[in-house]
Structure 1
Amino acid sequence: MIVKVFGKKITYTYLKNKLVDLWKPSEPLTLIDLGCEYFIAKFSNQASLHKALHEGPWFVAGNFLSVKKWEQNFVPDTSILTHTAIWARLPQLPTEFYDRQILEKVGEKLGSLLKIDTCTSAALRGHYAHICIQVSLEKPVKTRVRIGNHIKRVVYEGDKILCNDCGRLGHTLLKCPHKQMAKQPNDDNNTTTTKTNGEPTKPATSWQVVTFPRKKGAGKMPMQNGQQHGHNHLKVPPGKSI
């Protein structure tokens, strides 16, 4: 199958070690560098291949690992990654919204819901709800979502993956291909701030990202598969792929 780490250059040795740590194949993993940050991962055991293809999403050094079946006539320098998976936080979410069905609907508003953090589904996290979603790289990500009568902000997790100008994932402001024309000094559209308790708030179009140090060997959030038993995660519906 073909793999690529989204948004970050990873050395061959580091990537191979991380993939072995993530997938724990029962046989030696063969990894071939195709160039342009694309690699071929080969398995001799069908069960190991199935796990790598279907039990994600996977993350390497905090960045999404795109995986797909091998395709004929694949050319790395012309291949375009159109979607990515990313963890999103909903800070200060009222506890009554820590409900599987509600969070499913929230995830679908933001993109395609992949999984819900165990602590979130069990309402144990407290500070924020934590969901993994698949989003398009061609559209700005959403900064807010309506839940009942509440409008909650959305914070995305990652390192140098979100442009604060166009709101798209995959690049930063310095390399933004969608840079907007500089606004005139008197043009305050989308930049007006309001005050809450005397303190200015961020504008409605402000995209926010949170980064944090990851523990050694932490490539994939703890997951459980299977039917719902209060703490299980959502699986990607059949027919959907990344």
Structure 2
Amino acid sequence: MALSLVRKFMGTRPNTDVVRSFAKRRWHLKGQIEITAMAKGFFSFVFSCEEDLSDVLCGGPWVIGKTSLALKHWSLNLDLNDGIFGSSPIWVRLPGFPLEFWHEDVFKGLASSFGELLSVDSMMEARKRMVYVWICICVNQNTKLPSSVDIISKLGKWTQPVEFETMSCLF
């Protein structure tokens, strides 16, 4: 089970064939994958190739229909009833973000206002795309998400609109 992931779909669970079709179309796997619907809304994803598992966890964002695909490593001790899915990773898009605020401390401050910073988009971090900021944050599923956030720094104050996507992040 070392190459296994588990996912619980919140809300409407997609059909197993839809999930398989999505994986085939979007993940471009080198090896094989076995996708199984489980009890209580869970799916298991068993990969034959460790590189595929890593690519899926670190890739994304992944969305099936309007449902996020937040994945967690499977282990023998994993208790599917212990609330591990009480929080979810979400991607936060900050359109038109001023370059003078592009700094990890600013991103951490933004994340801490409603969750925990998990990662920064690799294209943005490498400065290959600087049109918008794209960060992954872990939030409690009961958190009310704002439509904008205020950024205050030594450079001044900026009110930033935010867009949220519940999508795949490694957690």
Change (3 A) 1:154 1:83: farther
Bigger relative contact order (CA 8 A; separation at least 6): 2
Deviation per CA, 1:37-61: give whole Å up to 9, x if none. 3111112223333333x41454123
The ranges of structure 1 where at least 4 consecutive aligned residues each deviate by more than 4 angstroms after the TM superposition are 73-76, 119-123
Label 1:51 to 1:130 Cα distance change in 2 as closer, same or farther (>3 A).
closer
Closer, same or farther in 2 for the Cα pair 1:145/1:55, shift >3 Å?
Answer: same
2:121 counterpart residue number: 116
- Structure 1 residues 38 and 109 mapped into 2: Cα distance closer, same or farther (>3 Å)? same
- Identity across the alignment (%): 19
Aligned residues of 1:107 and 1:133 also touching (Cα < 8 A): yes
Aligned residue for 1:55? 58
Unpaired stretches in structure 1, ≥5 consecutive residues:
162-218, 221-235
Alpha-carbon distance in 1 for matches of 2:136, 2:63: 15
Query: Does residue 150 of the first structure (1) align with residue 157 of the second (2)?
Result: yes
CA distance in 1, matches of 2:129, 2:104: 10
* 1:36 match: secondary structure: helix
Equivalent position of 2:102 in the other structure: 98
Describe how 1:4-19 pairs up with structure 2 within 5 A: 4-19=8-23
Which residue pairs with 2:44 in the alignment?
40
1:141 to 1:45, Cα distance in 2 relative to 1, 3 A: same
Letter in 2 for 1:150: K
Q: Which has the larger radius of gyration?
A: 1
Q: TM-score, normalised by structure 2?
A: 0.68
Instruction: Give the TM-score, by structure 1 length.
Output: 0.52
CA-to-partner distance for each residue in 1:146-170, whole Å, 9 max, x for gaps?
2323142442334xx8xxxxxxxxx
1:53-202 equivalence runs, <5 A: 54-56=57-59, 58-61=61-64, 63-72=67-76, 78=81, 80=83, 81-100=85-104, 102-113=106-117, 114-116=119-121, 118=123, 121-122=127-128, 124-125=130-131, 128-142=132-146, 143-148=148-153, 149-158=156-165
Kindly tell me the number of residue pairs found equivalent between the two proteins: 160
Q: Deviations over 1:90-143 (max 9, x none)?
A: 344333223455334433444222223735845631xx5332322122433355
Matched residue, 1:29: 33
Give the partner amino acid of 1:16.
R
- Give the letter aligned to residue 41 of structure 1: F
Residue 103 to residue 122, structure 1, CA distance change in 2 (3 Å): farther
User: How large is the Cα RMSD of the aligned pairs?
Assistant: 3.4
